[in-house]
Structure 1
Amino acid sequence: MGTINNQSILINADFSTSGTIAVLQGIKLSIILNKNLYLLNICNKNIEENTDKLKIISQNIHNEYNIEVAYEVIYGKPNRLNKINAIASGLEKNIDPLLVIIGINNNVKGLLKLLKNSKTPIITVQEKNPSKNLYKNIIVPMDFSKEAKEKLLWAIYFGKHIGSTIHFLFAEEKDEYLLQKSEDNLMFTKKTLSNYPEIKYKIHKVNREKKSIDEYALNYSKEVELGLTIIIRNKNYIFSRPEKKLLLNREKKPIMFLNRNENFYVPCV
């Protein structure tokens, strides 16, 4: 296994099409954010063969992009991703991942469980290779919840370090109480962004109709050049249709999932 000490982007390198796209996105983020890569493969057979594959991939990435890459193959069922959470949280390995990137294939059930438990942000990609300008536009659906502020801080991080244009979507709520909460978040958003004059952003007030603001955001991203959508995981329906629908969105768009934590983590902005 290769070893590195600095903060890394952790990637589930399972050699699938979506897993390959996850690696490519990791390379892109590693370059623009100046982070290392940590390639992880979970398998219950062909461990030596997979280790050789990861070694070659890691060496090629390092030689072509001058990125420090660590790699490891660990024993387990490939579609069960609990090992990723253990490693990302520092329980099993001494690494400090900024985020995790995972390709979606036959691991949906395991991925939903991982989303439920992970304190580390997770970017999911499907079998469609995202645009080269994936991070040019960041889509941030904002609702009335206090947890929405975590999305704001991650958006600022991308805006500051990548130069993304941030699109904040605020739903025009019909309920007066929810509308007021949403307006409070809007004021907080503007006040926070006033401290970062270099960040490009747009505020959009939208009629989400019967859709959730997250579903609306995925549809909205059709209107701008394909961008990463940042979503807070809803703990109330992690195993039901709404979250799975977001995960497996028809347009195969990448999503960054954040968990609801009392002491949420966001990198220094």
Structure 2
Amino acid sequence: MSESPKKILVPVDFEEQSLIAMEQGAHVAKLIGAEIVLLYVIEASGIISRFMSKQVDDDMRKEIEAKLDELVDQLKSKHGITATKMIARGSVYDKINEVSDMVNARMIVMGASGGTGLRRRFIGSNAFRVVREASIPVITIKGKHHRDGCKNIVLPLDLTKETREKVTKAIEYAKLYGADIRVVSVLFTTDEFIVNRLTRQLSQVKSVIEKAGLNVTAEIIKGIRGEGSLGEIVVDYANKVEGDLLLIMTQQEVDFTPAFVGSAAQEVINKSDIPVLSIVPTPKKDLTEFTPY
């Protein structure tokens, strides 16, 4: 029995940001040999749905299908990628994650900001909730320009239990893109124990990445409380080193330094014009100390 094709789910609302995300999704699809599933979610907003006649509903669905068909044809003619379309009704973030499970998607690629007015809610306010609840990697796109390549992957690290898995994922994506890795850790403390521990961990991480045959730099940034949040510092660093992809994990456990979750992750997704790849860690035993393979 032949293996089912890899699939990337791309939610669209036909606004500029979601179409930029579609182009980014097409680039990834070509790299991994995947198909694209275009998803449009009709928001079921109670009162509006009750007063919408069946004729109006049918007409709207036909219009959406026609626009999706155009995008499917565009992906085929421009990129040589097989794409399919789906329309769902309900809560945007619920349906995105539900459909990703249903089609067994390998990844979700979506805009981190929508268009104007009410349609902004479609993607903008739902992006982080999708990231937080997704069981697969999610790339969120906020910048206005599609990036064809990826030369620098920015890898922010803290002292969490998922460091090893995060580094492994960074190596995997760096090899896929042919990219270098820029490791950065932010410290808001001068505690000698924590500083020494992070310095040792950073050295181990750098060594492992080098042994994987990749170019890597590693840097510690000392933050000052009240003069820039963790998310702001990471985004500024990513811009400074001309990063093409920011890799974060979304459900880490707290150790000694602030975990890169919650408001920090949301801030990165909302403020970074660089695409953000969010990885959900798998449950595992304590791996706080990074041990080389």
Give TM-score scaled by structure 2 length.
Answer: 0.75
Match of 1:267 in 2: none
Alpha-carbon deviation of 1:150?
2.8
Moved more, 11-20 or 234-243: 234-243
Residues 1:217 and 2:239 are matched in the alignment: no
Alpha-carbon deviation of 1:214?
4.1
Match of 1:75 in 2: 89
Classify 1:71/1:263 alpha carbon distance in 2 versus 1 (closer, same or farther; 3 Å).
Answer: farther
Find the aligned partners of 1:189 and 1:127 in 2 and give their Cα distance: 29
Residues 1:207 and 2:229 are matched in the alignment: no
Classify 1:194/1:239 alpha carbon distance in 2 versus 1 (closer, same or farther; 3 Å).
Answer: closer
Match of 1:176 in 2: 192
Find the aligned partners of 2:23 and 2:142 in 1 and give their Cα distance: 12
Residues 1:13 and 2:12 are matched in the alignment: yes
Find the aligned partners of 1:68 and 1:148 in 2 and give their Cα distance: 35
Give SS of 1:189's match.
helix
* Identity between Structure 1 and Structure 2 (%): 19
Find the aligned partners of 1:263 and 1:14 in 2 and give their Cα distance: 37
- Count of residue correspondences: 252
Q: What do residues 36-56 of structure 1 show as CA deviations (whole Å, max 9, x unaligned)?
A: 211111115522221221122
Give SS of 1:96's match.
coil
2:276 to 255, 261, 268: 255
Alpha-carbon deviation of 1:260?
4.1
Residues 1:117 and 2:133 are matched in the alignment: yes
Matched letter for residue 32 of structure 1: L
Match of 2:47 in 1: none
Find the aligned partners of 1:26 and 1:114 in 2 and give their Cα distance: 16
Alpha-carbon deviation of 1:218?
0.9
Match of 2:96 in 1: 84
Greater C-alpha Rg: 2
Give yes or no for contact 1:140–1:217 (8 Å, CA) kept in 2.
no
Give yes or no for contact 2:97–2:130 (8 Å, CA) kept in 1.
yes
Give yes or no for contact 1:18–1:128 (8 Å, CA) kept in 2.
yes
Classify 1:155/1:240 alpha carbon distance in 2 versus 1 (closer, same or farther; 3 Å).
Answer: closer
Find the aligned partners of 2:35 and 2:268 in 1 and give their Cα distance: 29
The correspondence of residues 32-111 of structure 1 with structure 2, limited to 5 A, is 32-44=31-43, 45=57, 46-77=60-91, 80-88=92-100, 90=101, 93=102, 95-103=103-111, 104-105=113-114, 106=121, 107-111=123-127
The correspondence of residues 116-195 of structure 1 with structure 2, limited to 5 A, is 116-126=132-142, 128-133=144-149, 135-171=150-186, 174-195=190-211
Matched letter for residue 137 of structure 2: P
Alpha-carbon deviation of 1:222?
2.0
Please provide the CA RMSD for this pair.
2.8
Give SS of 1:40's match.
strand
- Unpaired segments ≥5 residues, structure 1: 265-269
Give TM-score scaled by structure 1 length.
Answer: 0.81
